[in-house]
Structure 1
Amino acid sequence: MRMTIGQLAEAAGVPASAIRFWERHGLLPAPERQGGQRRYPPQAAERIVLLRKFQQAGLSLAEVREFQQDQPRRQAMIRAKVAEIEQRVLDLHHAHQLLTHALQCSETDIASCPTFREQMKTWDQPA
């Protein structure tokens, strides 16, 4: 059963304007039209979930478009994005360590805390 843009927007939890935007930029396939209205297959909601995950992972629209195409550059783009995400995970881990330690540290300035300074030294070492 095909859905209207409003039904798809509700099912996917996104505004209809986002669906039209993704269509204009080639990120969603052009839907069939019935009586001038867009009609989407049920798989369109799954494609939107995937698009949102790509965005949450930090992929740009150009990267998402490239990911959807079977191109030789695709693998290189994916490897670069994985490395970028791994660095973000590491940065978040360090921020978590800092904040967790700061909650229990008695030092006025966390930068002067010997325990924390030792921890910071490990951040520069290769994993």
Structure 2
Amino acid sequence: MTIGQLAETTRVPASAIRFWERHGLLPTPERHSGQRRYPPEAAERIVLLRKCQQAGLTLAEIREFQQDQPRRKAMIRAKVAEIEQRMIDLDHAHQLLTHALQCGEEDIVGCPKFREQMTAWQTPDQVP
């Protein structure tokens, strides 16, 4: 398929596809009469690249993700730890905002329930 067809199929701009090629994240396609021609697997690779980006991987991490097993596993372990910490942070933000919607205190910092939550967030392994 042409780059236009690939872009349409994956809903990714052709400019992004060319960018990923330049940075070694997509294999260089064959050319026929000067036009890039992509195999069907290219669409799958693009889905993987988009999911990696959505997971917060940098271009360097995505490149490493596609490399040899030991380096890839180390990077993935570090990324999983980072994502788990973000999930905790998002949970705390959700708790704060949900409480703030219901709290009658003028200054939420003075709210006893909020203060309990803050203390729990600062204490490892304690769930509020």
Q: Which position in structure 2 is the counterpart of 1:63?
A: 61
Q: Name the Cα RMSD after superposition.
A: 1.0
Q: 2:21 aligns with which of 10, 23, 27?
A: 23
Q: Secondary structure at the match of 1:86?
A: helix
Q: Secondary structure at the match of 2:98?
A: helix
Q: Which position in structure 1 is the counterpart of 2:81?
A: 83
Tell me whether 1:72 sits opposite 2:70 in the alignment. Answer: yes
Post-superposition offset of 1:73:
2.1
Unmatched runs of 5 consecutive residues or more in structure 1: none
Query: Per-residue CA shift, 1:57-87, capped at 9, x if unaligned?
Result: 1111111101101142221111111000000
Unmatched runs of 5 consecutive residues or more in structure 2: none
Question: Structure 1: which amino acid aligns with 2:3?
Answer: I
- TM (norm. structure 1) is 0.94
Bigger mean CA deviation after superposition, 85-94 or 66-75: 66-75
Question: Structure 2: which amino acid aligns with 1:73?
Answer: R
If asked which structure has higher relative contact order (CA below 8 Å, sep 6+), I would say 1
Question: Structure 2: which amino acid aligns with 1:119?
Answer: Q
Query: Per-residue CA shift, 1:90-109, capped at 9, x if unaligned?
Result: 10110000101001111111
Percent identity of the aligned residues?
A: 81
Distance 1:49 1:73 in 2: 22
- TM (norm. structure 2) is 0.93
Distance 1:84 1:27 in 2: 22
Query: Per-residue CA shift, 1:27-78, capped at 9, x if unaligned?
Result: 0001111111111111111111110111111111111101101142221111
Aligned length: 125
Distance 2:120 2:51 in 1: 32
Question: Structure 2: which amino acid aligns with 1:29?
Answer: P
Question: Structure 2: which amino acid aligns with 1:84?
Answer: E
